Amino acid sequence: MVELHEAGELAAHYPRVRELLAELDDAAVLRAGNLLARLDPQQVLAAHPGTPAPGIAVTGHGTLSALRPALVAQAARHGLLARVELSDFDSWVFDLLTPDSDLYAARPQFALCVLDAEVVAGELPVPWSVADAERVLAAKLALVERAAEVFAQAAPGGTLVLNTLPLPRELTAQLVDLRSRARLGVLWREANVRLLRLPERWSQVVTVDLDPLLAAGLPARDVRQSVYAKAHLSAELLAGYAREVGHLLRQAAGGGKKVLALDLDGTLWGGVLGEVGPEGIEVSEGYRGEAFQRFQKVVRQLAAQGVLPAVVSKNDLEPVLKVLREHPGLAVRDEDFLQVRANWAPKHENLAAIARELNLSVDSVVFVDDSSFERGLVRRELPGVAVVAVGEEPARHVEDLLRDGWFDVRELTAEDRARPERYKEERARQDFLDTFDSLEGYLRELGVSVTLAPAAAEQIPRVSQITLRTNQFNLTTQRLQPADVEALAQSPDAQVLTIASADRFGDNGLVGAVLLRRAGDTVHVDNFLLSCRVFSRGIEQAALATVLADARATGARRVVGRYVPSAKNGKVADFYLRSGFVPVAGRDGEPGDGPGGEQAGPAEAVFEHDLADVPPPPAHIRLTARLRPAPEGNETA
């Protein structure tokens, strides 16, 4: 990277940065951030216009200049280009409580309000008591809560990121009686609890808990930097905080992961199965065996929350299955894995096959292996796969797997928890399909039912998640946070319709969404999304046919749909053409006029349907449709 920077070619080769940062230690990543922070984002975007480039406004208390390179580096690790704007020193109250401030005028996707203990300690009188600290804490919390309220109104499409406040010993030690110290500790922790609960009141708010970072050994501050430079959080803690924010940026850009593909020898257990046999591998006995078992339990914990585990191992299949089924010390079993691929094929080919059979992009995969050769090969052949390095010390496997929050979501839904079981049902569907000579016969016997209905309040997080995590059947790739979806659902001119499906093998749950907007006699399809699990069953045709029929029944003259190409949604480029739409030239109010007000690039395509000939839903679909709240009995099936 240094060579590219010195040659002035770093912007031209920006897509390589993610690979160059892979497996660097934290210090090296931060040094790279100092180089990347010097780049002009516009120069990068001119060379690579498809690069996701979230706008980030940083405000807060204290000197925060060290945060910029850390944020830029962490964004780059995920293939993103962070455009970071730093506010003036200690301007957070004005920035967030004034709706016409420069922060709001910039319309950042993320606003980071970074606070520290000095925001309280700096306003204590001399001498001070616990009562004084309680008063200042209450005042600051009131300001933060007011800031969250103003932000929710002034920036409905953005995310406000707050953080908890580290409690420095220097402050507690000024109280010489232990009872007062304990009381201050209670008040401080109660204040942090209030900060952590703010996302329950405002869905636009995320609070980063700094306690786990401090527990991992990061220093809260460098006292000299705090006193002399007013940098009240250490550079190490800011770097850890930036890593957490990087996870949020990745989620918002649609970079969520679903599949956890694990090597076996040296990763899930110790030793090489083919050399030492089932009795010789380290699974649960001894201190190393206990470390591997701890890792196995975390794999099961992730699977219980919707992660899809798989095995990719260079081994013979039968011995692997025997160990997974019978080894008494193993904390995972073969049924815990969606697929077990133990063979001698290159691992990148196995990973691609897993993604293909699950109807997922390989970008949905996290690959964990202790071999630097295997990791390097996968990075080269499948650059979209997230590669996690684990070393020879199994006690660190859990930390290595979890440190980048690959499977984090804003809110866990029932759909997430049910995902592994539904993919297992999908295998049964595939076996069922193999018994038919034609797709038509299979679909007739599959018994697909589809329900199209307005999004209920409890479905808002799931609809948001679909926009954030669905890449292949996502016609505009517009990403919406829960607050965005809620605003659309409440708008009198918009509709947020959910698509649920089921069949003879089980309930697929909420699998898609259609975002509609009415403007006079025109219905705009601002986005159409469908889970890759249910492609090619006629569900999308049934939903669109229902939308078209309802538009005509309510007096519309046409329906307009948009397609914005991305690296992953090419398979739906002709969806509107296949559905009776025709391409049209841009008209006022059509292109770039989505619910978020974003302007799409010149590659955007616009299509319209004149509603003269509305196709019926596919005959094999049992359809239940209710497109708006209505009195009982006003449903069509």
Q: What are the pLDDT digits (tens) for 73-114? A: 999 999 999 999 999 999 999 999 999 999 999 999 999 999
Extract the runs of DSSP E, i.e. beta strands, from 302-348.
308-314, 339-343
Asked if 33 contacts 62 with a C-beta cutoff of 8 angstroms, the reply is: no
Give CATH 3.40.50.1110 domain extents, the chain.
Answer: 2-252
Task: Tell me which architecture the domain covering 259-402 has in CATH.
Answer: 3-Layer(aba) Sandwich (3.40)
Complete DSSP assignment for 232-247: -S-HHHHHHHHHHHHH
> Distance between CA 462 and CA 456 in Å, rounded?
10
CATH of 2-252, one of 3.40.50.1110, 1.10.3720.10, 3.30.750.24, 3.90.1300.10: 3.40.50.1110
**Residues with Cβ within 8 Å of residue 84, at least 6 apart in sequence:** 37, 56, 58, 67, 68, 71, 72
Token couple for 238:
């800011």
Give me the chain's average pLDDT, please.
Answer: 91
Distance CA 491, CA 455 (A): 13
Give the separation between CA 183 and CA 189, rounded to whole angstroms. 10
User: Which of 3.40.720.10, 3.40.630.30, 3.30.70.240, 3.40.50.1860 would CATH assign to domain 432-625?
Assistant: 3.40.630.30
What are the beta bridge partners of residue 525?
516, 561
Judge if pTM exceeds 0.75.
Answer: yes
Q: Do residues 207 and 192 touch, judged by C-beta distance below 8 A?
A: no
What's the pLDDT score for residue 159? 95
The C-alpha atoms of residue 554 and residue 493 are separated, in whole angstroms, by 13
Token pair 């609960």 in the structure block, residue = 197
Angle at which helices 67-77 and 235-252 cross, to 10°: 40
Summarize pLDDT for 253-297 with one digit per residue, the tens. Answer: 888 899 999 999 999 999 999 999 999 999 988 999 999 999 999
- Which residues belong to CATH 3.40.50.1000 in the chain? 259-402
User: CA 460, 461, 467, 473 torsion: positive or negative?
Assistant: negative
The three-state DSSP-derived secondary structure of 420-466 is: HHHHHHHHHHHHHHCCCCCHHHHHHHHCCEEEEEECCHHHHHHHHHH
124, 127, 129, 132 alpha-carbon torsion, rounded to 10°: -30
Instruction: Return the pLDDT at 585.
Output: 67
Q: What is the pLDDT of residue 239?
A: 96
Inter-CA distances, 525 with 105, 358, 401, 551, 561, Å: 28, 28, 40, 11, 5
Q: Omega of the bond prior to 127 within 30 degrees of 0, cis? A: yes
Q: In whole angstroms, what is the distance from residue 549 CA to residue 617 CA?
A: 10
Q: Which residues of the chain have pLDDT under 50?
A: 587-602, 632-637
Phi, psi of 454 (to 5 degrees): -60, 145
In the chain, CATH 3.40.630.30 sits at 432-625
Q: And the tokens for 11?
A: 């912007």
Tens digits of per-residue pLDDT, 556-613?
999 999 999 988 888 899 999 999 999 996 543 344 333 333 333 447 899 999 999 9
Cα angle value 306/310/316 (rounded, 5°): 165
Cβ-defined contacts of 38-41 (< 8 Å, 24+):
38/5, 39/10, 39/11, 39/14, 39/72, 40/11, 41/81, 41/83
The answer for residues whose C-beta is within 8 angstroms of residue 277's C-beta and 6 or more apart is none
